[in-house]
């Protein structure tokens, strides 16, 4: 019995169709794999901002630092990177939160954070701002988990500790800036001990006020202090005016006294010299000198005196005009 192969054109067509469909799917799979590999490789491309650096890690271990720009490393899990902002000044707010910025920023007051106890057991309200930036990106990325929280909690605790060492009045007035400076130094010391890679730029105590119940009394104290300063200034002004004049008058009196002393000394010296000369004359000629002294004394007594002396010689009364004798004005 002869065997016949029955030709079925539909079967041949189906076989060619199946081969074509298989090649198409194979190509699709190959293209998909290529795209997946390309996409996987492209995941290693990363960009670093102008204020940032990238820390590249290989199997989780730090290998290098990349600066700003477009970079590439092997995809995960071979390599990865961590972006750290090293130039932006970050801000931590204590006692308040900024709710909106712009031309008219608004704030929200936080009582629990703002109120602190002073050394004289008073309550004071403080709103402070701590500014910091990253100065060691490797230490910051690998030693610190939450840098903001670390700075905030450290700054708040140090500020409370420092305020507790001063009384209310000093915190409000003279020690305000010093407390801020000492807080910054203490926070920096603590962060350095953690090897955090954080640098504290400034600590500002932008609002320091007494509690609301004592505000009127505090205002009275301030007014009294201002009155005190006004009185002090007036006293200093009066002193600056009167003291130079008093010093000038004292100097004038002193000069007059010195001049009088010199005059008296000179006069006494002259009298002494005159007495010595007279003594010498007296020792040389005692009678003549005695008579001359008597005449000088009489002349001094009758000088400028209107005096007439009557001498009696026998029965005749004669008037003796002393002015003619001594040359004075006696009559």
Please give the average per-residue pLDDT across 45-56, as a whole number: 93
Residue 311 lies in a domain: no
Domain finish residue from 34, 64, 84: 84
Residue 289 lies in a domain: yes
Residue 327 lies in a domain: no
268 and 179 in one domain?
no
Separation in Å, CA 49 to CA 83, 131, 144, 331: 9, 21, 21, 127
Q: Strand pairing partners for 308?
A: 321
Q: Collapsing DSSP states into helix, strand and coil, what is residue 8?
A: coil
128 and 41 in one domain?
no
pLDDT confidence of 329, banded at 50, 70, 90?
A: very low
Domain finish residue from 210, 244, 278: 210
Stated pTM of the model: 0.59
Separation in Å, CA 50 to CA 66, 69, 87, 161: 11, 8, 9, 38
274 and 248 in one domain?
yes
pLDDT confidence of 316, banded at 50, 70, 90?
A: low
d(CA 135, CA 190): 15
**Structural domain containing residue 95:** 90-210
220 and 119 in one domain?
no
User: What per-residue confidence (pLDDT) applies to 322?
Assistant: 61
246 and 165 in one domain?
no
192 and 102 in one domain?
yes
Selection from 189, 112, 124, 108 nearest residue 155 by Cα: 189
168 and 186 in one domain?
yes
The dihedrals phi and psi of 94, each to the nearest 5 degrees, come to: -120, 125
101 and 193 in one domain?
yes
CB 193 within 8 A of CB 145: no
**How large a percentage of the chain has pLDDT more than 90?**
55
169 and 192 in one domain?
yes
Please give the average per-residue pLDDT across 251-258, as a whole number: 95
Residue 2 lies in a domain: no
User: What per-residue confidence (pLDDT) applies to 235?
Assistant: 93
User: What per-residue confidence (pLDDT) applies to 22?
Assistant: 81
Inform me whether the pLDDT recorded for 149 exceeds 70: yes
173 and 270 in one domain?
no
Please give the average per-residue pLDDT across 211-237, as a whole number: 85
Inform me whether the pLDDT recorded for 14 exceeds 80: no
Query: Among 141-145, 203-207, 215-219, whose mean pLDDT is lowest?
Result: 215-219
Domain finish residue from 176, 210, 244: 210
Domain count, the chain: 3
Q: Collapsing DSSP states into helix, strand and coil, what is residue 63?
A: strand
193 and 104 in one domain?
yes
- Bond before 163 cis per omega within 30 degrees: no
Inform me whether the pLDDT recorded for 10 exceeds 70: no
Residue 296 lies in a domain: yes
CB 130 within 8 A of CB 144: no
Here the tokens at position 298 are 């009489």
260 and 224 in one domain?
yes
CATH code, 153? 3.30.479.30
Residue 53 lies in a domain: yes
């Amino acid at each position: 019995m002869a065997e016949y192969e029955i030709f079925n054109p539909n079967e041949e067509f189906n076989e060619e169709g199946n081969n074509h469909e298989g090649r198409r799917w194979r190509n699709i799979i190959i293209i998909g794999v290529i795209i997946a590999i390309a996409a996987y490789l492209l995941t290693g491309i990363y960009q670093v901002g102008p204020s940032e650096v990238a820390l590249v890690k290989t199997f989780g271990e730090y290998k290098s630092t990349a600066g700003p720009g477009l970079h590439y490393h092997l995809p995960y899990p071979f390599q990865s990177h961590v972006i750290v902002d090293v130039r932006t000044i970050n801000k931590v707010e204590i006692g308040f939160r900024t709710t909106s910025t712009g031309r008219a920023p608004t704030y929200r007051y936080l009582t629990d954070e703002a109120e602190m106890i002073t050394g004289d057991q008073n309550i004071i309200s403080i709103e402070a701002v701590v500014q910091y930036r990253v100065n060691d990106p490797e230490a910051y990325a690998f030693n610190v988990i939450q840098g903001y929280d670390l700075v905030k909690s450290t700054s708040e605790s140090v500020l409370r500790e420092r305020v507790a060492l001063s009384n209310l009045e000093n915190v409000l007035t003279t020690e305000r800036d010093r407390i801020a400076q000492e807080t910054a130094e203490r926070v920096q010391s603590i962060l350095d001990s953690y090897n955090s890679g954080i640098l504290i730029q400034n600590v500002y105590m932008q609002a320091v006020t007494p509690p609301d119940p004592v505000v009127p009394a505090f205002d009275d104290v301030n007014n009294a202090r201002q009155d005190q300063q006004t009185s002090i200034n007036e006293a200093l002004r009066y002193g600056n005016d009167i003291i130079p004049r008093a010093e000038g008058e004292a100097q004038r009196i002193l000069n007059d006294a010195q001049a009088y002393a010199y005059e008296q000394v000179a006069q006494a010296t002259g009298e002494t010299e005159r007495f010595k000369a007279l003594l010498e004359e007296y020792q040389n000629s005692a009678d003549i000198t005695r008579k001359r002294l008597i005449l000088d004394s009489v002349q001094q007594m009758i000088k400028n005196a209107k005096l007439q002396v009557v001498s009696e010689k026998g029965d005749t009364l004669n008037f003796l005009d002393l002015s003619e004798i001594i040359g004075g004005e006696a009559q």
